[in-house]
Chain A
C-alpha cells in the first residue's frame, strides 16, 4: 500500500513538472524540404514548416503553459476548443492542421485503398468529379483557410471549408467530421512560387497527395 502511494505521488510530481513544451511534440517533417519539388518548392516548405508551423506551436505551448495546461492531448483540446481562448483556438489549430497537412503529402507515389476509392465514387460519382469539387472548394476559400475531405458521423465523405486555422474536429465549426485530407490555402502556402495563382498550387497538390495516409485515416474513421 505504501509502495503504491509512493509511486502515485512520484507520478503526480512528474506530471506536474511536465511543461506544455515537453508534453506537446513539435514533430519532424516526414520528408526533406526539397522532397516535394517541383510541386512544392523547398523555400516554401522551409518557411512554412520552420517559421509558420513552428510559430503556431510556440504560441500554443506558451499560452497553454501560462493558463490552461492540464496534460490534455492536443486532439482533446481541439475537440473542446470552445472552452479555450481565441488565441489557443488560432494557434492550437495552426499546430494541429499543419502537422496533419504534412502527412497528407509525400514524395512517393501511393494509391488510394479499394475502400476509399469506392467511397469516393459512391459519394462524388467519380474520382474526376471529386477532384473537381475539392479543387473548387480550395480555390474558393475567401481569405485564409483550409479545404478538407471529412468523414461525417453517418460515415459519408464530405468536402468542407474552414476559415483561418479552424478545423472540422473543433466543436465551434459548422461542418464537423473526421478529417482525412487537407489543403492549406493561406497565401503563405503558395505565394513564393505561385503568387496570386492559387489554382496552380492546388493543381500541383494533386501530384503529392499521400493516398496511403488518406486511406489509413479513412479506415480509422469508418471503423
Chain B
C-alpha cells in the first residue's frame, strides 16, 4: 500500500489571511508530502508495508510512528477548515461542550490557552476521553489521541511551521485567528 497526499477539501487561497496560500503551499505541499514520502520509504520491507495508517500508528514507534501519526494529524487538521464555516456547534456537541467547559466561549478560552502553552512542537486536541467526556489535551511532536483510547474531534497544529510564515513568533495571534476558519459542521460530524 502506497500512501498519497490527501487533497484539501477547499481552495487553499480562500482562508487568507488566517492561513495564507503560502502557508498551505508549504504546510500541505511540503511538510505533509514529506511525511507521506518518508512513511512510504520507511515501511518498505517491514511488517508495516501493507498495514492501514491507523494500525501503523497504533503498532509502531520511532520514525515510522512519527511520520504515520503526522499524516493522520495533518489530514485531520486540514479537513476541519472552510472558507465559510459553521461558526459554532449545535445540538449534542454544543451540549457536551457546555457540560464539560461551562460555555462555548470558555471552551475556546481554555483550548487557546492549551494551544499557546504547548512548549516546542506539538498539537492541542479536543477529544472524547475513555470515560466518554470531552477533554482538552496537549501532545508534543507527533503525539496523537489515537494511541490513548481517545476520539479526536478538533486539533490545532502548533509546530512553528503552521504559523511562522503568517505570524512569526506570535503564536497567540495565530491561535486566536484560527477559530474564524474552523467549520463546526465537520467537528459535529466527528462527535
Chain A residues within 8 Å of B, Cβ to Cβ:
47, 51-52, 55, 86, 90, 142-145, 163-165, 186-188, 191-192, 195-196
Is B168 in the interface zone, CB < 8 Å from A?
A: yes
Q: Determine which of A52, A86, A191 lies in contact with B165 in the assembled complex, contact meaning CB atoms within 8 Å.
A: A191
> In the complex, are the beta carbons of A164 and B168 less than 8 A apart?
no
- Most B CB within 10 A of own CB, among A52, A164, A192: A164
Given contact pairs A86-B119, A142-B141, A165-B120, enumerate 7 new A-B contacts (beta carbons under 8 Å). Answer: A47-B168, A47-B169, A143-B142, A187-B161, A191-B160, A192-B168, A196-B31
What are 13 pairs between A and B in contact, CB < 8 Å? A47-B168, A47-B169, A86-B119, A142-B142, A143-B140, A144-B121, A186-B120, A187-B164, A191-B160, A191-B165, A195-B165, A196-B34, A196-B161
> In the complex, are the beta carbons of A143 and B169 less than 8 A apart?
no
> What 0/1 readout, one digit per residue, does chain B (96-138) give for beta carbons within 8 Å of chain A?
0000000000000000000000011110000000000000000
**Minimum CB–CB distance for A50 against chain B, Å:** 9
Size class of the B contact interface (CB-based, 8 Å): 20 to 34
> In the complex, are the beta carbons of B160 and A144 less than 8 A apart?
yes
Of all chain A residues, which has the CB nearest B25?
Answer: A195
Chain A residue numbers with a CB within 8 Å of B120 are: 143-145, 163-165, 186
> In the complex, are the beta carbons of A187 and B160 less than 8 A apart?
yes
Chain A residue numbers with a CB within 8 Å of B140 are: 143
> In the complex, are the beta carbons of B164 and A143 less than 8 A apart?
no
Is B30 in the interface zone, CB < 8 Å from A?
A: yes
> In the complex, are the beta carbons of A187 and B121 less than 8 A apart?
yes
Is B66 in the interface zone, CB < 8 Å from A?
A: yes
Is B77 in the interface zone, CB < 8 Å from A?
A: no
Of all chain B residues, which has the CB nearest A51?
Answer: B169
Is B159 in the interface zone, CB < 8 Å from A?
A: yes
Q: Restricting to B144-191, which residues have a CB under 8 Å from any CB of A?
A: 159-161, 164-165, 168-169
Q: Restricting to B61-79, which residues have a CB under 8 Å from any CB of A?
A: 63, 66
Chain B residue numbers with a CB within 8 Å of A47 are: 168-169
